[in-house]
Structure 1
């Protein structure tokens, strides 16, 4: 048995050992987060619809959309069954709160398993947002312009609709690879038709169709900004395969500085490297897991996980410094180097 294999095995065992007691799910913490966010959202919706002033209606709807986004992030925990640990809850509730926004939760949940397996190592990853050098070179000039301005276009223009279409497209693309995807597509489409049939009937009956459409559009814009930003931040610029699966996930996922409130709202996903390496750890245990894993990495003389500046700061930086994945010269940690794009040239990093 080679020395590298022995060291990799020991590392994996040590990582599993230090995190073994952190997989315990606190159902109260999970349901409290879900109920509080849902209550705030529904309260804001009630207030918005009780006012006749359209400007006030729009303003309150913006805040409602923000809390709806945080509420929807709870559905990510449910894909891993780490919010409450209640399987029936994880099967029913995320669909009920996703379908009003046309979010195909069933398709997303199936694709998300591929993402956890392929992140950093397989370019087919359905949640990969960063383009490769080859994809960029083979694209038309207009597409290359889009890649250089991808963050702004995706976050502010594509928004929620962009994520919805992307998820359906990948669901259809991988339907033969993941056998349950055709059924999940059918379930989501059927659920959306049913939910929106009820909502639209209610709006039309009460003469509020235009207001309902405005309300949905505001929610879609706000939720899209939050979700697209999160989607881009989590892995952009970090693509690369390490010696083991867990190291790949630790290094190919971004950790961000955030206070306890932001961390709670984001479901602990500011510790995204930890989540990817150990998706069974619930959100409230991710900070502790991060510290323990750093200790293991240090004891094995491996690079520590980086913690980047907060969500806003890192978004501004990465959006103005677009990069490409370049498959070329291997290094100790990565099999991919990054290519930095500028307006006039391309510089290897």
Structure 2
């Protein structure tokens, strides 16, 4: 059974329940996330004993704001529409991810998931196929370079990707210019104080490899087929990872029925688990399988 047949087979009352958004559920999750991020930020800013040990968890929490931004592109974390847009824009700032642009980029990814040529996440290029390219990918360098190019092109160049609607070009240009101004101001602030370096710049650089590995598991080693229960992976993991990633380890479920908000994905998993084609028992298992799959390359 593919994802279309599975979703069509759901009882109407179950389908309605699964799609029910909730401001309360979204705000509870966001508040818990912000409490953790505030605690690590305060520890670094106040230089509590062993404060350097907080830099990595700070970075992980910052870069995994990507998963909330991602959810906001679907307008599912909150019932109130403007709240999804406002939060999506705000949490995208620390990770240099222009939200309006990302919404349409991501919708195209859903339409062409894992298609070698049409999925914009692939950009016509394969995922890392040898150990050197895997290390470069995990470093986060391609992401930061790619986002810098997107911001520059959106701000000053042509916006011509086919999945970016012309009616949004003005908004994308304004968004990119505003973000660039914010980053210039942040860079200038470093001349007065190194605080942003410790709270933001170093943490996101150190945290990015963890996000890259998490994202690689979503579709890596999955076949380029149309069935979302096969071209997307559900990774069975612990509650901490599911919390930080807004339940997106249930990724096949998300792609099968993207209108389901994060807090309903465990319930959707109950309907899909017998039909999943691509799963891993944890990110360590996926990583081990991926490393074994890549070609050996000499580093000399």
**TM-score when normalising by structure 1:** 0.72
- 1:241 is aligned, of 222, 225, 239, to 225
Match of 1:231 in 2: 215
User: Counterpart of 2:196 in 1: which secondary structure?
Assistant: helix
Matches within 5 A, 1:166-185: 174-180=160-166, 182-185=169-172
Counterparts of 1:102 and 1:14 in 2: how far apart (Å)? 40
Tell me the C-alpha RMSD between the 2 structures. Answer: 3.3
Deviations 1:115-170 (CA, angstroms, capped at 9, x unpaired)? 000013462211138945xxx9xxxxxxxxx7412322111252651452476599
Distance 1:21 1:49 in 2: 43
Matching residue within 143, 148, 151 for 2:130: 148
| 217-226 vs 278-287, greater mean Cα deviation | 217-226
Match of 2:106, SS state, is helix
Work out which of the residue numbers 282, 285, 301 in structure 1 matches 2:261.
282
Tell me the residue number matched to 1:220: 204
Q: Deviation of residue 257 (structure 1)?
A: 1.0
Separation (CA, whole Å) in 2 of partners of 1:73 and 1:8: 22
**Could you tell me how far apart the structure 2 residues matched to 1:288 and 1:216 are?**
35
Identify which of structures 1 and 2 has the higher relative contact order when contacts are C-alpha pairs closer than 8 Å and 6+ apart. Answer: 2
The 2-side partners of 1:89 and 1:163 are apart by 28
Provide the residue aligned with 1:13 in structure 2: 8
SS state of the match for residue 46, structure 1?
A: helix
Is it true that 1:101 corresponds to 2:87 in the alignment?
no
Aligned to 1:26: 22
Deviation digits for residues 193-243 of structure 1 (CA, Å, limit 9, x no counterpart): 343355445554xx31x453354331222331122112211101213224x
Residue 243 of structure 2 is aligned to residue 264 of structure 1 = yes
In 2 relative to 1, CA 277–95 (structure 1 residues): closer, same or farther, beyond 3 Å?
Answer: same
Q: Look up the match of 1:325.
A: none
Counterpart among 75, 79, 93 of residue 85 in structure 1: 79
